[in-house]
Amino acid sequence: MRVTPLEAWIGAKIQQSPFTHEALENYQLGKLNAVIQLARAKSPFYHRLLADIPYFNQLSDLAQLPFTMADDIRNQPLQLLCVSQDEIHRVVTLNSSGTTGQPKRLYFTPDDQQLTIDFFRVGMSTFTDPTDRVLILLPGESGGSVGDLLATALQQLGAVPIKHGPVHDPLLTLDIIRREKITGMVGVPTHVLALARQPNISMPKLKSILLTTDHVSNAIKHAVERAFDCKVYNHYGMTEMGLGGGVECEARVGYHMREADLYIEIVDPVTGQVLSDGEYGEVVFTTLTRRGMPLIRYRTGDISRFIPSACPCGTTLKTLEKITHRLSGRVVIGDQVITMADLDEALFAVDSVLDFRATVCHEDERDKLQLDVRLTDQSALDRLQHVVQTVLPLTTYVSVQIVPTLPTSMAKRAIMDMRGQA
């Protein structure tokens, strides 16, 4: 097993060989002070928020700063800019699948996007080489889109990228995989699962698959690995991070993060206190090298921890445990907390399930969980209903409805809580 290629890449960025974590922390401290100075001088939002912040002497001083919240981006995105709008190359608008209201808008300069390309190139080299032909099942039509940046990164790696876009017709996509002699794929978990579970189809054997943009349940991972007879890797990132955040190494026990570009903290979701390695909390990050729209102590809503033990790959980089749920994705039904991850593990364990949508409402003086499910075999409905009851309180009323299609979306899937809405 080889060490994650991110280690050598980060070592080169911080100009340190051999790589040490102490050298990385010194680099991060310098970049942290620089980004705070930039944001305070150029961003009206951070000029107000960070007016009296002194020069930091150690990374732990960062805990003195207030958090940046998702609503700050929704309500005043231009106030976070540190450059003129003429210098912005790409604007990404995010509509959450779990909420309604104002979207978030993120702004990136060409240099910001080059940082993403660099990370994609090195991260993909974990399981990709110049002999590979990689099908990109992400939006890539416009310049600077995630699929376009990934294609550029793969070209720099020497591999052949084939931009496809999200999966709308699984049979057509499978035909492209065969015709183009695809060896690897990058896509959304449920989109790739729709390929893997097409009935009565002989699946092509692939070398590797990277799943991204959403939580990857063990049920989906195992189903995809069985179907395509290959290893499945996870990527963790979000648009706010600059699209790329971290990727699994060959050990596949968690993500190694782009620590020269992002400083990651784990905080108590209630108190905001910084937690030690091994403790579960909310992932918070600060961008260290982005200039267009830097984010300082941005609360992601994702729950994870830094694994305290060393990664089997031998790196000195930290390992962030796989994200399983989001704070905003939890709902309380009766006296039990239910997450999308709970439903994913249970429902996708049923071989016929392709995708589902979960909605909670209040009808006839009781809570109701509505599950709209796509199945390849409707005879699996009885088993599906039994499985649902294993993860929900017996007092919860559950309605399972088979639907022919569900909207194809790139947004993170979430339980829609409609209680209290007219």
Residue 98, pLDDT score: 47
Assign 255 a pLDDT band (cuts: 50, 70, 90).
Answer: very high
- Whether pLDDT at 169 is above 60: yes
CA gap 172, 164 in Å, rounded = 11
Assign 128 a pLDDT band (cuts: 50, 70, 90).
Answer: very high
Mean pLDDT of the residues in the chain: 92
Residue 99, pLDDT score: 47
Assign 397 a pLDDT band (cuts: 50, 70, 90).
Answer: confident
CA gap 163, 141 in Å, rounded = 8
Residue 197, pLDDT score: 95
Assign 291 a pLDDT band (cuts: 50, 70, 90).
Answer: very high
> pTM for this one?
0.93
- Whether pLDDT at 274 is above 80: yes
Residue 108, pLDDT score: 98
Higher-confidence residue: 258 or 379? 258
CA gap 17, 19 in Å, rounded = 5
Q: What is the mean pLDDT of residues 105-129?
A: 98
DSSP per residue over 151-201, as a string?
A: HHHHHHHT-EEEE--S-S-HHHHHHHHHHTT--EEEE-HHHHHHHHT-TT-
Percent of the chain exceeding pLDDT 70 equals 97
Tracing tokens 């704070």 back to the chain, one arrives at: 327
- Whether pLDDT at 422 is above 60: no
Residue 96, pLDDT score: 62
Domains of the chain: 5-113+249-323 (3.40.50.12780), 127-236 (3.40.50.980), 327-417 (3.30.300.30)
Assign 334 a pLDDT band (cuts: 50, 70, 90).
Answer: confident
Q: Are 401 and 385 a contacting pair, CB within 8 Å? A: no
